[in-house]
Structure 1
């Protein structure tokens, strides 16, 4: 958690100096310096686009898992069973996931003036869910099957991976670090943010801190509130916490908690699509993606609705892979977090080695703490990256192989080929790179470099 806070500080420093849509690939380019800017800009552009576009599909399937898990609570017999070998079950999960995606995307077609209300309502729902889990769930657990001991929560270990004990411990970062990603989102909507050089950077820091603190508290509470491990691992629902709610609160209240989680996840996905669509719009605006001329357009409200449509088509197509094989779908979305972590690590490495004394005009300039924070970010995110592409289960078989490394490698190769074949004058021209560097030194206005920049006033 501490190292992710440091990572947020490193990104906030750059965001404050360059508050532009599609920020993360521009940050990478400028962190690399003029000589290597274009190459690393291509890498991070494709990494980030892959991460954010797969996130929507993965989140919608996770939302569907909450809904279909109510069948296990009410002991409803599904034709053919709820195993992954049942194509009817996979089709059912796919259908529910597509509905969740449609609802999540639909919010992004609302008029922009509604967004503030959506964001505030989303925050209300998430905090309501958080406090109910913090207060109602423990009371119910105390009155039913009882808490786990402090010794169990803080000292016990469980190895369900088949990995050596040391690596099994390291694999715990897969879950905890996976929660603390995506806080660069506020940078992607910087062009629509008032006083973006301060507000967008502050958003990166506060979102990382809020997620870290609330996530840590939630993990501790859930560890105290789960049933004994034999009972917990025997739960058959795709989302076992739905059955935990039912065991502690009762079947009826479990519906309420499930509905709350589903609504929160739909809104969470919608907000993620807001950030992701701005990233896709920025990359298309600069001429990299196929159909860039259409994707990079904005509507009468200056909203990138075509980029939102691309998100919907891509995620809906990705979800279709659930029907032939759940393993195929899991493999495709397994790389969702990997490119983001890789981008965090790479940006810090470039700041450490190529531009350690730049971006002094940043409102969040790190000063003498810069190099230690860059190094900490590189080492920690490098470790998380290794964990995310490593096998999760041992021995490794075709059904347990982690395809994240294959997908990440393929995206990286495609990015390198794009860098090689796309003419330099078409995307991230040298004069554009040098002009952006002058922005970070306070010598020019961002709108001179990016004429399409339309920041809210």
Structure 2
């Protein structure tokens, strides 16, 4: 199934991660559903655009609201604006992998050490970003059709993988045994066995982040206090169930490890499709994936633009006055433009170093996980009894759910800032903790420099905590 969140890691490492993801995926589903329930509870009480940083601010209570609100605002903007660039590079990898399928020679060879190859991926990625952004300039009435088409393509991709791919595998290289699927492990990271298993959470948790998106468009959603919260829960549930089914399917359908790791395409699944379905079949599957990813990227930009608009509207970002300006029909087109400029600039890092780009995009997942865990921590310690107006109140499960969400997201966060390959060298160094630290410093600096009367005044925090009571 096409998922924009897969782009958080290098596509060439996905087969290795899938080999190790069986038990970790089940663990991830349970704890991410708990995290989704925590977010749905507060989303129902505060269905606002840019919601995740508002949730963090309100969860901290009046005394620390602005501090945590500023930090999460910067975290969230960083995460969501990198999604667009990451998705476009993932889509480009699908396209250029057809060169390996058809055995077409490329000057200097297919590989990230070839600057001409990186230039090709960069050019295609930039073109795809233009297309995804252009969709966001269409009239708003067309968005629902785009959403439906995106979901339809994802489901088509899923069912073709469930039905067509196994048929092709059965007629070609054959299925892996159940013993291989459920008991075999592979260490391609050089890490100790325990941490090698932990690194599988890069894949499992990476595919299940971003379910807070429905909260970012809550102000444009009818009956948002119910629908937005339900969207968070159903998104996490659907992604978990279908994602786990897809992972098990690929475990049965991938060739033996020697063949699997001999695949040289940037997106190995394209070559797997070719082995199982033939070259023509790989074109069909690649085309569906490419169109689906483009639409997924445009949908991600819709959510991201609402977040950036809300943060700018509240005066946190540079040029906030211009960024927060909307069109006559209420669309934050300037925020979309900011995302395009940011994404296009980020993609330029492909040219000097593929490692640098991968680190930047990987760092996009870290702030999201950090925000999930922080909100749960603040609810547990600062405001455990607040937001009684929520339609998704956790009741007696509240504190256990908050603690569970803190625990799991802390584990995923530590994995995401860990080295991905050992021993660590300049080429394998994970820049995610450095980038995350820098973004956090920007958030703290903006909190310190922005006057209190410019954003998140105390009376607004009290209104959020007590929506039916008058502010004291």
The TM-score range, normalised by the shorter chain, is over 0.9
Residues 79-90 of structure 1 mapped to structure 2, 5 A cutoff: 79-90=107-118
TM-aligned CA deviation for residue 296 of structure 1:
0.3
Residues 216-235 of structure 1 mapped to structure 2, 5 A cutoff: 216-235=244-263
TM-aligned CA deviation for residue 325 of structure 1:
1.1
Match in the other structure for 2:160:
132
Residues 6-155 of structure 1 mapped to structure 2, 5 A cutoff: 6-155=34-183
SS of match in other structure, 1:396: coil
TM-aligned CA deviation for residue 327 of structure 1:
1.2
Deviations 1:168-197 (A, max 9, x none): 111111110110000000000000000000
User: Is 2:314 aligned against 1:312?
Assistant: no
Residues 405-444 of structure 1 mapped to structure 2, 5 A cutoff: 405-439=433-467, 442-443=468-469
User: Is 2:217 aligned against 1:174?
Assistant: no
Deviations 1:58-78 (A, max 9, x none): 110000000000000000000
Q: Unpaired segments of 5 or more residues in structure 2?
A: 1-28
User: Is 2:308 aligned against 1:280?
Assistant: yes
TM-aligned CA deviation for residue 362 of structure 1:
0.1
User: Is 2:439 aligned against 1:402?
Assistant: no
SS of match in other structure, 1:69: helix
TM-aligned CA deviation for residue 13 of structure 1:
0.2
Deviations 1:258-286 (A, max 9, x none): 00000110011110000000000000001
Match in the other structure for 2:228:
200
SS of match in other structure, 2:209: coil
Q: Distance in 2 between matches of 1:9 and 1:167?
A: 28
Q: Distance in 1 between matches of 2:202 and 2:361?
A: 14
Residues 336-375 of structure 1 mapped to structure 2, 5 A cutoff: 336-375=364-403
Q: Distance in 2 between matches of 1:297 and 1:432?
A: 22
Q: Distance in 2 between matches of 1:331 and 1:313?
A: 19
TM-aligned CA deviation for residue 216 of structure 1:
0.3
TM-aligned CA deviation for residue 81 of structure 1:
0.8
Match in the other structure for 2:3:
none
SS of match in other structure, 1:425: helix
Residues 67 and 444 in structure 2, CA contact (< 8 A), matched pair in contact too: yes
Match in the other structure for 1:328:
356
Q: Distance in 2 between matches of 1:36 and 1:150?
A: 52
Residues 379 and 402 in structure 2, CA contact (< 8 A), matched pair in contact too: yes
TM-score normalised by L of structure 1: 0.96
Q: Distance in 2 between matches of 1:49 and 1:359?
A: 25
Q: Distance in 2 between matches of 1:326 and 1:402?
A: 12
User: Is 2:391 aligned against 1:391?
Assistant: no
Q: Distance in 2 between matches of 1:47 and 1:162?
A: 31
For these two proteins, the number of residue pairs brought into alignment is 443
Match in the other structure for 1:452:
none
Q: Indicate which of 180, 188, 211 corresponds to 2:216.
A: 188
TM-aligned CA deviation for residue 330 of structure 1:
1.1
RMSD across aligned positions (CA)? 0.9
Stretches (4+) displaced over 4 A? none
Residues 387 and 466 in structure 2, CA contact (< 8 A), matched pair in contact too: no
Match in the other structure for 2:298:
270
Deviations 1:384-407 (A, max 9, x none): 000000011111111001110000
Q: Indicate which of 381, 386, 404 corresponds to 2:409.
A: 381
Q: Unpaired segments of 5 or more residues in structure 1?
A: 449-457
TM-aligned CA deviation for residue 443 of structure 1:
3.4
Q: Distance in 1 between matches of 2:464 and 2:404?
A: 26
Match in the other structure for 1:453:
none
SS of match in other structure, 2:453: coil
Q: Distance in 2 between matches of 1:435 and 1:360?
A: 13
SS of match in other structure, 2:423: coil
Match in the other structure for 1:454:
none
User: Is 2:325 aligned against 1:297?
Assistant: yes
Deviations 1:7-61 (A, max 9, x none): 0000000000000000000000000000000000011100000000111101100
Q: Distance in 2 between matches of 1:394 and 1:322?
A: 23
Q: Distance in 2 between matches of 1:169 and 1:320?
A: 33
Q: Distance in 2 between matches of 1:160 and 1:88?
A: 28
Q: Distance in 1 between matches of 2:385 and 2:113?
A: 56
Deviations 1:338-383 (A, max 9, x none): 0000000000000000000011110001000000000100000110
Deviations 1:188-210 (A, max 9, x none): 00000000000000000000000
Deviations 1:124-164 (A, max 9, x none): 11000000000100010001000001111111100001100
